[in-house]
A and B are shown apart, each in its own frame.
Chain A
Amino acid sequence: MHFFPDQASTISPEVDHLAYFMLAVSIFFTVLIFGAVFYFAIKYRRRSDDELPGGGHTGLALEVVWSVIPFGLTMIMFGWGASIFFKESVPPDDAMNIYVVGKQWMWKLQHQEGQREINELHIPINRPIRLTMTSEDVIHSFYVPDFRTKQDVVPGRYTTTWFTATKPGKYHLFCAEYCGTKHSGMIGWVYAMRPEDYQEWLAGSPTGSMADRGARLFDDLACANCHHADGSGRCPTLVGLFGSTVRLAGGGAVKADEAYIRESILNPPAKIVAGYQPLMPTFQGLVTEEGVVELIEYIKSLNAKPGLEQTGQPAVPGAGAGSQPGNQ
C-alpha cells in the first residue's frame, strides 16, 4: 500500500513536496507537545496530597517566541501553497482545450477534434490540457487524485483548470462535490497516453470536429440569418469575435471569452453590443450545454484563418466545414 498516490502530472511532485514540508513541521510539533506532556506528567506527578507548587507567572518572552515562530512557519506554508495555486490556476496559452459537462451522474467530455467520451478521458502526456467545464444541473467537482487537481463544476458558468500528465497510465476520475443519489457512481478513468498513441486513438474513431458540429448547429438554428460574416446583418459579425474586446450599449466593454459567448447565446439581452438592437431571442432550452460549447468552438474557428469568410448564407457546406480551407 502506498501512502501517497501516484505522481502523474507536473504539479503532483510540487504539491507533494509542500506536503512533506508540512508533514515534517507537524511531526516536529506533535512530538514536541506529546513529549512535553508526557515528560512533565511523569516528572511532576503528585507525590503527596498536600503539595502546593509555586504560583505560575507569564513569561512574555516565551509567549512572543511561541507566537512568532509558528507564525513564520505558517507564512512559509501560505506563500508556498499560494505559488502552487497560482500555477494551477493559470493555464499556459498553448494548452489543448477539452470541454467537460457534468450532469447527474456522468461526465461528458468533448475533444476539439470532435471525439466525445463519457466517464473516460483520453489525453496525451507532456502536453498542457485545459478543461473548460460546466454543469447541466447541480455542482460537481472534477477530481483526478494522481494529478492533484480538483475544480468544482458549477451550473450557469464556466470554470477552468489545467494539468500536464507526465506518465502514461490509467487514473481515477472522481466527482468530489456531493451531487445526489449516485454521487459515488460519478467516476471514470483518465487515460494518459504517449502522443503517438493518442494520435492513433484520435484516428481510430473519426468524427467531425467540434467546430464542424458547431457549424451545423449554427445552421440548424438559423443564426446566419442575422449574424452575417461581413457585418451587414442586423446582428454583429462573429468573425474575429473570440478574444476581442466588445463595446457594449450603455457604456462598458467586455472581453469576448467562452463565458461571454455562452451568456450571449442563452441570455442575449444581458449584454447588448453597442450600435445593435436587442433583437436576439434566447436559446435557453434550445441548445444543450454541449451544443453551446460546439458553437463556441465554431466561433473560435472563425478566427483561426483570417482569410476565411463566415458563411453568411443559409447554404453552409455540410461536412468538412470550419477549419478545412476552401470552404466558402
Chain B
Amino acid sequence: MATAAVLERETYLNASYGLKSWLLTKDHKRIAILYFITISIFFAIGGTFAGLIRLELLTPQADLVSSETYNKLFTMHGVIMVFFFLIPSIPATLGNFFLPIMIGARDLAFPRINLLSWYLLILGGVLAIYAMVAGGVDTGWTFYTPYSTSYANTYVIATALGIFVAGFSSILTGLNFVVTVHRMRAPGMTWFRMPLFVWAHYATSLIQILGTPVLAVTLVLILCERTLHIGIFDPALGGDPILFQHMFWFYSHPAVYIMVLPGMGVISEIVSTYSRKPVYGYAFVAFSSLAIAVVGFLVWGHHLYVSGQSLYAGLVFSFLSYFVAIPSAVKVFNWTATLYKGSISYDTPMLYAFGFIGLFTVGGLTGLFVASLGLDVHVTDTYFVIAHFHYVMVGGTIMAYLGGVHYWWPKMTGRMYPEHFARLSAVVVFIGFNLTFFPQFILGYQGMPRRYHVYPPEYQVLHVLSTAGATVLAVGYIMPLIYLIWSLKYGPVAGKNPWGATGLEWSIPSPPPTHNFDRIPVVMHEAYDYSAVPREVEVG
C-alpha cells in the first residue's frame, strides 16, 4: 500500500517507511489503511465460507461436506462477517480516515487508543481463526444456550474469547469517535454544519458504547458456564436459556444498526456530491440516525416471538419495531428527494448509492414482514429472514462500503480507479446480489428452514438460482479487488477534489499530509454548500 508516492510533497503515505512505521503509527489515516487490509482479508475468508455453503446447497443431498462441516461453515461465515467484517467495516476504515478530517481535526482524540483497537481486532481475529483452524465451531453465530454451553463439542471458548476481544476494539473506536466529535471540531464547525457521514458515525458510536459491553458480559457468562458449569443459562441447573437470548439480542439487534448506519452516512455524502445539491431535509436525516440508534435499543425482543416469551412482551416489541421503520423510511425519501432537480452524474459511487437505495428499500420493507407478530411466526428461522438481513447487510452495508471506497479512493491513495471497470463491477454486484438473495425470500415463505444442510427436493430450483447468483456476485466482488490494486500504481493521479465535492476532506491534497491541515480551517458555511466549491475539475 505504501507505494503510492505520487507527488514530491510529503503525504501520510511517504512520511516514513518500513513496517514498523506502520505497525506503531498513531496516524488515524494509516490506522484506517491497516483496518482496510485486515477487514479485506476477513471478508475474503467469510466470503469463501459463503461460497462453500452455496455450493453445498446446489443439491438437496449432502454432497460436498458432512453436516458437522456444514454447521461449522455457516457458523464461521456468520462470526467472521458480523464481528470481524461488518461491524468494523465502514467506521474503522472510512470513518477512521475521514471523520477527523471532515470536522477539521488533526487526528482522533486518542490516537494511541485508536491503534490499540486495531490490535484488539487482530488479537480477536487471531483467536477466532485459531478456533477455525483447530477444528471450528458449530453453534451458529448466535451461540444459543444450552447448545453452546453444554452440548457443542467444538471450539466455543476460543471463538467467544475472540469476539469478546474484538468487542473492545469496537467499544474503543466508538469512544474515540464520540469524544472527537464533541471536543475536536474546528472553529465554526457547529453540530448542524457537520456532514451527515459524521452524524451517522456519532449515532453508531453511541450504540457501540452502550451495546457492546452487554455482549461482552454475555460472552463472559457463556465462558463461565462452559468452563465451570455454574448453571446461569442451563435449565437443568435452574438457569434460564431464554435469558441468554435477551442479553444476546440486546446487543445484536442494535449491532445491525452499527452495521448499517455508517453506510447510510456514506450514501448521504455520495448522493449529495453526485447531485451537486445539499441533502434534502438535512436535519431530518441527521436526527433519524439518532432516532434509529435510540429506538434500536428497544426492539430486541422481536427476535423472540416464538421463543416462549409472554404474549404481551411480543406485542410491545412488535409495536416498537415499527417505530424503527419510520426514520429509515425518512432517510430513503430524503435521498430520493435530493435527486430532484439535481445535476446527476453516473460515476461509480453514485451507481452503488442507487443500488443501496433500492436494496435497502427492499430489505427495510421485508423487515416489516418479520416485525409483524402473526407473519413472523411463519417466516422466522427460515430463508425469508436470511434474505431480509442480507438485503440490509450486503445490499445495504457492503454496497455503501464499496461506494464509499470508490468515492474516497482518490483521496486515500492519490490515484483514480478505472471508471469503466468500476461501473461494470457495480452493475455486476447489483445483479449478482439480487439473483442470490431474492429467491431466498420465496424459499423462506415456502418454509425452507435456515441452517439446513440437506433439504426436501422441492426447494432445489430456488437454491440453484441462488447459487448461480452467488457466482455472479463473487465476480463482482473480485473485480474491484483487482482494479483497485492495479490503480495504486497505474491509475491516473487524482487532484484535490476530482468530484467537485464539498467537505473539508476535499480541501486538502490527495493523499493528505500526516497532520491533515496546515492550519485548522474556520468553517463559514453549511454542509453541502456547492456555491463555495471552486468549479475547476482537476485532472492530474
Contacts and interface: CB of A to CB of B under 8 A. Distances in A.
Given A44-B339, A139-B147, A184 B235 contact: no
Contacts of B454: 184-185
Interface in A22-43: 22, 25-26, 29-30, 33-34, 36-37, 40-41
Given A77-B322, A157-B308, A82 B447 contact: no
Contact of A63 (B241, B284, B315, B376): B284
B381 A141 contact: yes
20 contacts: A3-B442, A15-B374, A19-B369, A22-B375, A44-B343, A44-B344, A46-B276, A53-B342, A54-B341, A56-B277, A66-B333, A77-B368, A80-B372, A84-B374, A137-B146, A154-B235, A156-B241, A174-B447, A174-B449, A177-B144
Interface stretch (B29-37, B323-331, B406-414, B466-474): B323-331
A229 to B, nearest CB: 32
Summarize B's interface: helix, strand, loop or mixed: helix
Interface in A119-156: 137-139, 141, 143, 145-146, 148-152, 154-156
B55 interface: no
A228 B458 CA distance: 56
B190 interface: no
A82 to B, nearest CB: 5
Contact of B378 (A1, A44, A49, A148): A148
Interface string A63-104: 100110011001101101111111011000000000000001
A58 B275 contact: no
Contacts of B449: 143, 174-176, 184
B325 A74 contact: yes
B366 interface: yes
Contacts of B369: 19, 22, 26
A37 B378 contact: no
Given A150-B381, A184-B453, A18 B375 contact: yes
Interface residues of B, number: 96
B351 to A, nearest CB: 10
B345 interface: yes
B368 A52 contact: no
A145 B373 contact: no
Given A58-B282, A182-B67, A184-B453, A37 B368 contact: no
A62 interface: yes
A77 B344 CA distance: 36
B381 A177 contact: yes
B378 A150 contact: yes
A276 B497 CA distance: 84
Given A63-B281, A81-B318, A155 B236 contact: yes
A71 B377 contact: no
B447 A145 contact: yes
Given A78-B322, A174-B447, A152 B138 contact: no
A143 B340 contact: no
Contacts of B365: 22, 25-26, 29-30
A34 B430 CA distance: 14
A57 B456 CA distance: 55
A105 to B, nearest CB: 10
Given A4-B446, A85-B374, A176-B381, 12 more contacts: A18-B374, A33-B357, A37-B354, A47-B343, A50-B535, A51-B343, A55-B530, A59-B281, A78-B318, A139-B144, A184-B449, A185-B67
A34 B335 CA distance: 12
Interface in A175-200: 175-185, 187
Nearest to A86: B311
Contact of A149 (B146, B319, B354, B377): B377
B354 A5 contact: no
A41 B339 CA distance: 7
Given A19-B375, A58-B282, A67-B330, A74 B311 contact: no
B336 interface: yes
A85 B334 CA distance: 34
Contacts of B537: 49
A182 B451 CA distance: 10
Contacts of B450: 176, 178
B140 interface: yes
Contacts of A25: 365, 368
Contacts of B346: 41, 45
Interface residues on A, range: 35 or more
Contact of A55 (B277, B322, B354): B277
Nearest to B526: A55
A219 interface: no
Nearest to B350: A41
A10 to B, nearest CB: 13
A181 B377 contact: no
B119 interface: no
B452 interface: yes
Contacts of B529: 55
B210 interface: no
Nearest to B238: A267
A113 interface: no
Contact of B279 (A1, A56, A141): A56
A187 B459 CA distance: 15
A4 B330 CA distance: 31
Nearest to A142: B306
B361 interface: yes
A151 B151 CA distance: 21
Contacts of B357: 33, 37
A309 interface: no
Contacts of A46: 276, 343-345
A30 B359 CA distance: 9
